């Protein structure tokens, strides 16, 4: 066994240790430790990704001394470390970009605990990426719920508390449905580890006696994860939660956490249920319809928003619709496009939240559209970042957002009855995106209104640089996507080979 193969386990344990140390280290050292942890996590995930891609392997790593099917395992192929790498990069850049606002928004007494919650969020996301056991998946889903609620409610305002409560209610309904689905699947198969589940579910489905039970279990698991991801019509918690948090938390909640659940669902479909059985249950059709509905209806809600952060948050709900549309297409290219959308949205949405708050800073901390007029002139760097993010969200070529849309559109032509609904929803959603994103992008570059007391502000490059790195990564993805898609294809081939 190569030493690199220990890295997924090391990164999970390191996060847990770091969370404990941060708890006693206080704010200053906690912040340094968390930044160091995120940086180390990037290196470790990068090494695992290189190892798996170079050797074209996926491997199971036994945790403890009990072999399968009794013990616990983690699994690494190409997709797992790739997603863990994307999540670590986005979290690090979000934390660095939102550092000044963390110091402003979160009280001195709570800031050390905030870093603990960031560490726990990272550990739960890494575990969701690497787990090979569905019950471990449930436990880390709940840890992720608790940690993400912590980073949300750390900003001590009344609205944030209410948003946190609403977030918890929906999130716990999602976790509950996922848990009862897992229990139901366990009662049918007697297995919890993915490889054994895959084998047993296939045999049970062939047998025919428990098909309704498997369908119900798969439906409950999918619905639970869809609610936690904020898929329409379960998205009502999302705009409030993502817009009320401190900006680093907004980036992490919107760019990373909801994607963790979507990736877990893709992993369960391939590793635990099997794509053939999953598509035979018909659950993907429900996800497709909800995804299409979300793409259009959440975009309409974004147009109606009067607050920039709320508009960006509604746009997240619409973009999550794209991810579930990809899953619901029922093809491997659809899944590939869904993962591309996960990566695109993680990079672009974090950049949009960072630039939106910087534009607000240049408008005397106002977030409503009339006050934002001319904000691009007052803070040109933030204006450029927001405009680039808006172009990416619309799906303009050379930006990251173009690539998944291209794959979705191409794959739509190979579908049956889903072809026209998918194409129509893609067109409608793109037009709506143009309306609200380009409207805002134009508004911030209009001349400032007469009598406006807003002045050009001093640029804080420590918070702009991470956003520019996000922009560079998005552009790299948009201009030269071939290596990324090749990696994804290799990852799906390893998923199917297992």
Spatial neighbors of 479 by CB under 8 A, at least 6 apart, are 398
CA–CA distance, 463 with 360 (Å, rounded to integer): 14
Nearer to another protein, 183 or 465 (CB): 183
- CB 139, min distance to another protein, A: 6
The owner of tokens 């402003």 is 104
Query: Is the CB of residue 271 less than 8 Å from the CB of residue 75?
Result: yes
- CB 19, min distance to another protein, A: 14
- CB 80, min distance to another protein, A: 23
- CB 388, min distance to another protein, A: 23
CA–CA distance, 146 with 124 (Å, rounded to integer): 10
Nearer to another protein, 22 or 160 (CB): 160
Structure token digits, residue 60:
């199971």
- CB 142, min distance to another protein, A: 5
Nearer to another protein, 146 or 487 (CB): 146
Nearer to another protein, 80 or 463 (CB): 463
Nearer to another protein, 188 or 435 (CB): 188
CB atoms within 10 A of CB 169: 11
Q: Which one, of 296, 329, 323, 289, lies nearest residue 431 by Cα?
A: 296
CA–CA distance, 352 with 354 (Å, rounded to integer): 5
- CB 138, min distance to another protein, A: 8
Backbone CA torsion sign across 305, 314, 251, 157: positive
- CB 420, min distance to another protein, A: 34
- CB 121, min distance to another protein, A: 14
- CB 175, min distance to another protein, A: 8
C-alpha pair distances (Å), 140 with each of 129, 146, 148, 374: 10, 10, 12, 44
- CB 188, min distance to another protein, A: 9
Residues that bind another protein (CB under 8 A): 135, 138-139, 142, 145-146, 149, 153, 158-159, 161-162, 164-165, 168-169, 172-173, 175-177, 179-180, 183-184, 186-187, 190, 192, 306-307, 309, 357, 360, 365-368, 370-371
Nearer to another protein, 168 or 338 (CB): 168
CA–CA distance, 222 with 433 (Å, rounded to integer): 27
Nearer to another protein, 149 or 394 (CB): 149
Rounded to 10 degrees, the C-alpha dihedral 255/256/262/263 comes to 130
Query: Is the CB of residue 206 less than 8 Å from the CB of residue 272?
Result: no
Nearer to another protein, 45 or 175 (CB): 175
CB atoms within 10 A of CB 279: 17
CA–CA distance, 483 with 451 (Å, rounded to integer): 51
Mapping DSSP to helix (H, G, I), strand (E, B) and coil, where does residue 60 land?
Answer: strand
CA–CA distance, 299 with 295 (Å, rounded to integer): 6
Q: Work out the angle at residue 136's Cα, subtended by the Cα atoms of residues 133 and 139, and round it to the nearest 5 degrees.
A: 155
Q: Which one, of 82, 98, 106, 212, lies nearest residue 156 by Cα?
A: 106
Nearer to another protein, 154 or 325 (CB): 154
CA–CA distance, 12 with 125 (Å, rounded to integer): 9
Nearer to another protein, 49 or 310 (CB): 310
Query: Bridge-partner residues for 60, per DSSP?
Result: 75
Structure token digits, residue 308:
């920039």
């Amino acid at each position: 066994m190569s030493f690199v193969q220990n890295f997924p386990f090391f990164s999970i344990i390191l996060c847990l240790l770091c969370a404990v140390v941060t708890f006693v280290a206080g704010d200053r050292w906690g912040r340094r430790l968390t930044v160091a942890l995120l940086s180390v996590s990037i290196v470790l995930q990068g090494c695992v990704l290189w190892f798996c891609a170079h050797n074209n392997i996926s491997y199971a790593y036994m945790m403890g001394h009990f072999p399968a099917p009794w013990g616990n395992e983690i699994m690494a192929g190409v997709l797992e470390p790739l997603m863990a790498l994307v999540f670590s990069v986005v979290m690090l850049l979000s934390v660095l970009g939102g550092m000044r606002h963390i110091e402003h928004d979160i009280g001195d007494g709570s800031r050390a605990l905030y870093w603990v919650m960031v560490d726990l969020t990272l550990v739960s996301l890494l575990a969701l990426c690497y787990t090979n056991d569905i019950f471990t998946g449930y436990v880390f889903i709940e840890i992720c719920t608790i940690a993400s609620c912590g980073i949300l409610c750390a900003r001590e305002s009344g609205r944030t508390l209410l948003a946190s409560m609403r977030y918890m209610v929906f999130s716990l309904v999602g976790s509950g449905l996922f848990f009862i689905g897992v229990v139901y699947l366990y009662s049918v198969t007697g297995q919890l580890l993915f490889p054994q589940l895959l084998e047993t579910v296939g045999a049970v489905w062939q047998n025919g006696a428990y098909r309704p039970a498997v369908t119900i279990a798969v439906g409950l698991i999918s619905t639970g994860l869809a609610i936690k991801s904020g898929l329409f019509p379960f998205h009502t918690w999302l705009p409030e939660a993502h817009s009320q948090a401190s900006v680093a938390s907004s980036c992490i909640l919107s760019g990373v956490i909801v994607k963790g659940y979507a990736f877990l669902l893709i992993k369960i479909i391939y590793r635990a249920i099997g794509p053939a059985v999953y598509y035979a249950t018909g659950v993907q059709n429900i996800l497709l319809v909800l995804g299409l509905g979300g793409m259009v209806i959440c975009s309409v809600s974004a147009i109606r928003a009067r607050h920039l952060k709320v508009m960006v948050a509604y746009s997240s709900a619409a973009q999550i619709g794209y991810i579930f549309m990809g899953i619901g297409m029922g093809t491997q290219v659809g899944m590939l496009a869904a993962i591309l959308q996960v990566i695109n949205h993680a990079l672009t949405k974090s950049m949009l939240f960072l630039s939106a708050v910087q534009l607000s800073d240049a408008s005397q901390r106002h977030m409503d559209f009339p006050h934002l007029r001319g904000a691009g002139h007052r803070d040109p760097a933030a204006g450029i970042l927001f405009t680039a993010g808006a172009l990416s969200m619309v799906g303009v070529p050379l930006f990251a957002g173009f690539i998944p849309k291209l794959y979705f559109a191409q794959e739509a032509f190979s579908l049956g009855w889903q072809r026209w609904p998918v194409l129509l929803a893609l067109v409608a959603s793109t037009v709506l995106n143009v309306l609200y994103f380009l409207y805002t992008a134009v508004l911030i570059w209009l001349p400032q209104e007469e009598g406006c007391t807003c002045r050009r502000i001093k640029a804080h490059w420590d918070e702009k640089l991470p956003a520019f790195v996000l922009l560079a990564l998005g552009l790299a993805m948009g201009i030269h996507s071939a290596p990324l898609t090749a990696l994804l294809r290799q990852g799906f081939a390893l998923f199917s080979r297992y």
